Amino acid sequence: MKVFKFGIIGAVLGLIISLTSAQGRHIGPPDGYAGDPPDFRTCHACHSSYNPNSGGGFIRLDGLPSRYVAGRSYDLTLTLYDQNVSSRRWGFELTARHSDLSNGGTLVITDALNTQLSQEQEDAPVYIKQTDAGNFSGTRTAVAWRFGWIAPQAGAGAVVFYYAGIAANGDANNRYDYVYNRGSTSLPPLDAAPEETKVTPAAFKLHSVYPNPFNSQFQARCELLYAGRLEVNLLDPTGCRRALSFVEYRPAGMNTITIDSEELAAGIYLINIRFGGQNAAMRVVYLK
C-alpha cells in the first residue's frame, strides 16, 4: 500500500502535462479538475460538447461511511457508467476536503496499475486520478477504480469528496465526450454513535443535479429500487447546518425532485438524500 506524502515538483508536473494529449490525457488530468472549490472546474472545461451529467450515465462513490471513525481505513470504489456506445476511453479525478479546503484525511493507492496520486506542492490539495492503464481503453459501458482512504483524526470535521469523470470516444480530440461529476460527504462521528454502515447502491442511486449552478430552482434525479419514504436535506458545505429539509413518499423507479431557491442565500450547498437507510450527496451552487 502506497501513501502519498509529499508534493510533486511544479516543473516536473508542467512537463508531464505538456506531453499529454487533449483527449483522455494518458497520464491523467491536471490537478484542480475534480469539481472542487474554489474554481469548481471539471473535465467539462475542455470537453464541453454536452452539459455535465447529461449522457444518461452516472459517476458513483461506494464504500464511504455516512459517519467515519477517526483514523480508520476504508476501501472505496469509484464507478463511472455511460450507456453511449461511442464511449471507450475513461478518466477521473477525486479529492477529499474539509470546509476550509484543507485535505480531508489521506488518500491511499491500493491499485498502482490503474490509479495515481498527484499534488502540485506541499500543503496543496491531493488528487487521485487514473494512470495510462487506468484509461481502460476499449472498454464499453462501465469502469471502476479502487483506492483507500484513511479518515482524519478526531475533531477534524466533515469531509467532502469531490469527483469528476469523463467517458470519452477516443477520437483524439475533445469533442462529443460525456462528463459526470458529483460530491459525497462523510460526517464526523457522534459522541456515542454506533458502528457506521457503509453506503451501498442497493436501495437507490442519485444520478444528477441540473442545472448546476442554478439561480431559481434545480432538479435532482434519483432512482429508487422500491417505493418508500425519501428524506431530502439541503446542507451548508460543512454538512452540518440545514438550509432546507423535507420528507416525501416516492414510487419506485426514476424520480425527479425540484428544489426552489426562494428562501436561500447565494452560495454552495450539498443536497443530501436519504432512502432505505442509505444516503448520497451532490454539491450545488446557487447564483442570484
pLDDT at 7 over 70: no
102 in the same domain as 50:
yes
Domain housing 272: 204-286
The predicted structure's pLDDT at residue 187? 84
Domain check: are 32 and 113 in the same one?
Answer: yes
- Decide: 132 and 52 in contact? Cβ < 8 Å: no
Does residue 176 sit in the same domain as residue 265? no
| Segment among 73-82, 128-137, 194-203, 278-287 with least mean pLDDT | 194-203
Classified as helix, coil or strand, 179 is strand
Torsion of CA 102, 33, 81, 148, to 10 degrees: -30
**Parallel, antiparallel or unpaired: strands 106-109 and 2-3:** antiparallel
| Residue closest to 96 by CA, chosen among 133, 58, 68 | 68
Whether residue 109 lies inside any domain: the answer is: yes
Residues 179 and 213 in one domain: no
Q: Where is pLDDT greater, at 14 or 218?
A: 218
**Residue 192 covered by a domain:** no
CATH code, 236 = 2.60.40.1930
* Nearest residue to 65 (alpha-carbon basis) of 180, 1, 152, 126: 152
17 vs 62: which has the higher pLDDT: 62
Q: Do 44 and 139 reside in the same domain of the chain?
A: yes
Which residue type does 167 have?
A: A
What number of residues does the chain have? Answer: 288
Q: How confident is the model over 36-47, as a mean pLDDT?
A: 89
Provide the CATH number for the domain around residue 33.
Answer: 2.60.40.680
Using the 3D structure, point to which of 186, 219, 237 is the last residue of a domain. 186
**Separate counts of helices (H) and strands (E) for the chain:** 1, 17
The residue ranking higher by pLDDT, 23 or 210, is 210
Tens digit of pLDDT for each residue in 99-123? 899 999 999 999 999 999 999 888 8
Note the pLDDT tens digit of each residue in 159-177: 999 999 999 988 878 888 9
Domain shared by 148 and 210, yes or no: no
Q: Please check whether residue 164 is in contact with residue 283, taking contact to mean a CB–CB distance below 8 angstroms.
A: no
pLDDT at residue 31 above 60?
Answer: yes
Q: Are residues 80 and 113 in the same domain?
A: yes
Across residues 112-141, what is the average pLDDT? 91
Q: Report how far residue 183's alpha carbon sits from residue 96's, in angstroms, rounded to the nearest whole number.
A: 10
Number of domains the chain contains: 2
What CA–CA distance (Å, rounded) separates 98 from 119?
A: 16
**Position 1 pLDDT exceeds 50:** no
Task: Give the residue, 7 or 126, on which the prediction is more confident.
Answer: 126
Arithmetic mean of pLDDT over the chain: 81
- 182 and 214 in a single domain? The answer is no
- Express the helix, strand and coil content of the chain in percent, nearest 5 each: 5, 45, 50
Say if residue 85 is in the same domain as residue 138.
Answer: yes
Of 160, 186, 212, the one marking the end of a domain is 186
Strand bridging mode 127-130 / 115-118: antiparallel
* Distance, C-alpha 54 to centroid of its chain: 16
Instruction: Look at residue 237 in the predicted model and tell me its pLDDT.
Output: 64
Residue showing cell 478518466: 91
Asked, for residue 209, whether it belongs to a domain, the answer is yes
